[in-house]
Structure 1
């Protein structure tokens, strides 16, 4: 806590902006992860970490980014099992459904895709691959995380007179 003569400022939000001397990666690594985040915030965190990872050549920073990405993917594992809050259901709902326009090209479910991302991240953390293999694994991880994010943020529901239904036409007994 800062006193009146201090130049330290208090951070009123849950996530502080980086200081002038702090790099973007350091700020990203300090961003809290946890159950207080909703699904979209966790997906954004995963995407920010993998974006930084794909652009980084520093081994220490890459290892730290992989560790944080793995942590975000573990938080995502829990989030995928919890019911969606109303504000996300609203964001995932459309008025008119176009079934073929929303789903990712992979037929894999979200949890399996999340596990693939975790496995690739763990592989990078082991640091046993050649520089060329590391580049390919990082690229594949980048692509898979982005597919996962796009898929989970794609509309799922359509609003009808009878309530919400899945875009595929199925009734929605309990939204998850």
Structure 2
């Protein structure tokens, strides 16, 4: 660093680096993720991370996105076990049910599908596959996260004279 008695020439670009605009990915990576989020907020976060991951070729950003996706999937584990808040129950309730319209693409339960997504994310974090395999794994992860989100946001309840019931016809003793 130069002082007043120095003959060292200072370069302003070194002393005052230009301000870099924060990228969408940097903003996404800084977005808080935690236990106070409801199920739909966690799902949206996971979907945003996997959307950014599928579009990204930067290795460092991909690793960061995978890490955040893995964290989101871990938060999802607890969100799946937590009781549904009233506003989500309302969003998951319909007046007239058509059971065949609400079937998921896979017959796997949400927790198992979440575990598949975790396994694929960890596989991507290990960086042991070829670039072609990585592209396929990323695509599969993208598809599975979107199937999981779609399945969990699909209506589950129908209003009946006796209160809420599952679309499948089961009674709902305590909504969870």
Whether these two folds match at TM > 0.5 is: yes
Is 2:34 the partner of 1:29? no
Instruction: Return the alpha-carbon distance in structure 1 between the equivalents of residues 48 and 158 of structure 2.
Output: 29
Instruction: Return the alpha-carbon distance in structure 2 between the equivalents of residues 87 and 20 of structure 1.
Output: 40
- CA gap of 1:164–1:127, structure 2 versus 1, over 3 A, is same
Instruction: Return the alpha-carbon distance in structure 2 between the equivalents of residues 60 and 20 of structure 1.
Output: 18
Partner of 1:3: none
Partner of 1:98: 98
Tell me how many residue pairs correspond in the alignment: 158
Q: Which has the larger radius of gyration?
A: 2
Partner of 1:148: 148
After superposition, what is the alpha-carbon deviation per residue over 1:110-163, rounded to whole angstroms, capped at 9, x for unaligned? 000000000000000000000000000000000000000000000000001100
Partner of 1:68: 68
Alignment RMSD: 1.1
Partner of 1:14: none
Instruction: Return the alpha-carbon distance in structure 1 between the equivalents of residues 103 and 38 of structure 2.
Output: 21
Instruction: Return the alpha-carbon distance in structure 2 between the equivalents of residues 44 and 162 of structure 1.
Output: 33
Instruction: Return the alpha-carbon distance in structure 2 between the equivalents of residues 156 and 133 of structure 1.
Output: 36
Which runs of 5 or more residues in structure 1 are unaligned? 1-18
Is 2:166 the partner of 1:160? no
TM-score normalised by structure 2 residue count: 0.88
Instruction: Return the alpha-carbon distance in structure 1 between the equivalents of residues 103 and 54 of structure 2.
Output: 25
TM-score normalised by structure 1 residue count: 0.88
Query: Runs in 1 of length 4+ with deviation above 6 angstroms?
Result: none
Instruction: Return the alpha-carbon distance in structure 1 between the equivalents of residues 20 and 121 of structure 2.
Output: 30
Instruction: Return the alpha-carbon distance in structure 1 between the equivalents of residues 20 and 54 of structure 2.
Output: 24
Partner of 2:171: 171
Which runs of 5 or more residues in structure 2 are unaligned? 1-18
Q: How far 1:103 moved relative to its partner?
A: 2.3
